[in-house]
Amino acid sequence: MFSWVFQSQELNHGGYVVQSNRGSAWGPFSSLRTIWTRHDNTQLYGAFDRPPFPIKVDQPTITEIFREMRLSDLVMLGSIYGGGIAWAYAASRPFVMLTQRLVVFHGLSHLALVTGLSMTINQPYRRLTGFADNGLRWTTPKDKLKKFDATSHFEKATIWGRFRVRPEE
């Protein structure tokens, strides 16, 4: 359906980008999965480091962000908001007066709603700018030596190897 997008030369970066055949970027829980999944050992990126995934749009506008939204973003919003409502209900139960319960419930549920909405807007922005899994992979590896990597081959053999997205694969 979207094959014409990946065949255009401007998104292909001259042959340095390939579409991934993994389904990790397209599942209904892929946006929610980014909360606990790491993709690299780097925590902060310098101004001249390339992002872990190819860039679709360098400085996306609001309309491009809303066009990039997927079902997984709405699932993430519903999960965070639903969890926030359950948390707000549980936190408001010990109070005796109804007004106290309503203040606590509304405060916590609105906090969850704002958190979910901000993450729902942030995730398509990160996909467009290449800092979240967008289904594309670099074909050339990073110019970086994995100097202190002594455990990645052990990690791949365990169940914990599933919880890290490796852009080079």
- pTM for the model stands at 0.66
Asked if the structure places residue 155 within a domain, the reply is: no
Mean predicted confidence (pLDDT) in 142-151:
63
Which pLDDT score, from 0 to 100, does residue 136 have? 82
Please say if the pLDDT value at position 142 is more than 80: no
Which pLDDT score, from 0 to 100, does residue 22 have? 54
Split at pLDDT 50, 70, 90, the class of 7 is: very low
Asked if the structure places residue 153 within a domain, the reply is: no
Number of domains in the chain: 1
Which backbone phi and psi does 67 adopt, to 5 degrees? -70, -25
Radius of gyration of the chain (CA): 20
DSSP class of 38: B
Nearest to 63 by CA among 155, 128, 135: 128
Of residues 39 and 133, more confidence is placed in 133
Which backbone phi and psi does 20 adopt, to 5 degrees? -75, 145
**Average pLDDT score over the chain:** 77
Give the domain range for residue 82. Answer: 50-133
Asked if the structure places residue 4 within a domain, the reply is: no
Paired tokens of 122: 């942030």
Asked if the structure places residue 12 within a domain, the reply is: no
Cα–Cα distance between 152 and 40 in angstroms, integer? 11
DSSP class of 138: E
Read off the pLDDT of residues 23-56 as tens digits, 9 standing for 90 and up: 556 667 777 776 666 655 555 566 667 788 888 9
Which pLDDT score, from 0 to 100, does residue 1 have? 43
Asked if the structure places residue 115 within a domain, the reply is: yes
Please say if the pLDDT value at position 8 is more than 50: no
Asked if the structure places residue 119 within a domain, the reply is: yes
Which pLDDT score, from 0 to 100, does residue 159 have? 74
| Residue 133 near residue 56 (C-beta atoms within 8 A) | no
Asked if the structure places residue 39 within a domain, the reply is: no
Paired tokens of 2: 């979207």
Asked if the structure places residue 104 within a domain, the reply is: yes
